Amino acid sequence: MLRRTKAGPFDLSQAISLDKLNAFGQGAAQSDVILPLEAGLVDIPALNLSPEAAGAIRQGRVWTGVSTHDGLYWGRDAENRPVALIEALAGTLKVVRGFNL
């Protein structure tokens, strides 16, 4: 038998039982069953986006003129909502994966 005990930042303590999953299918509140998106992004630094940049990133556009180190970030808007997984390279932000929340 093979049993996965950890995947990324998650271990068995965050696992969803079949009973909880069934309750979610029967109309239980999502917040009672599923962790927020940010829980899966704990090992990726966050980047605060201006309202203009957040809007452009949501539309999948490239945003330039950003002063940050090159690398992978998750962008968040002024209300701390995740916008997208973004790559910063030479002052330019490019969407890797958008979040449709």
21-47 tens-digit pLDDT: 888 788 777 777 778 888 889 899 999
The pTM of this model reads 0.76
Closest CA to 98 of 88, 79, 85, 87: 85
Residues 42 and 90 in one domain: yes
Question: For the chain, what is the domain count?
Answer: 2
Look at residue 18 and give its three-state secondary structure.
helix
Residue range(s) defining the domain that contains residue 93: 37-101
Per-residue pLDDT tens, the chain, 101 aa: give them.
888 898 888 888 888 888 878 887 887 777 777 788 888 898 999 999 999 999 999 999 999 999 999 999 999 999 999 999 999 999 999 999 999 87
Half-sphere exposure of 101 (CA within 13 A, CB side): 15
Residues 66 and 76 in one domain: yes
Residues 52 and 24 in one domain: no
Residues 54 and 87 in one domain: yes
Residues 57 and 98 in one domain: yes
* Cα–Cα dist 45/23, whole Å: 33
Closest CA to 83 of 46, 58, 50: 58
What is the amino acid identity at position 101?
L
Residues 53 and 82 in one domain: yes
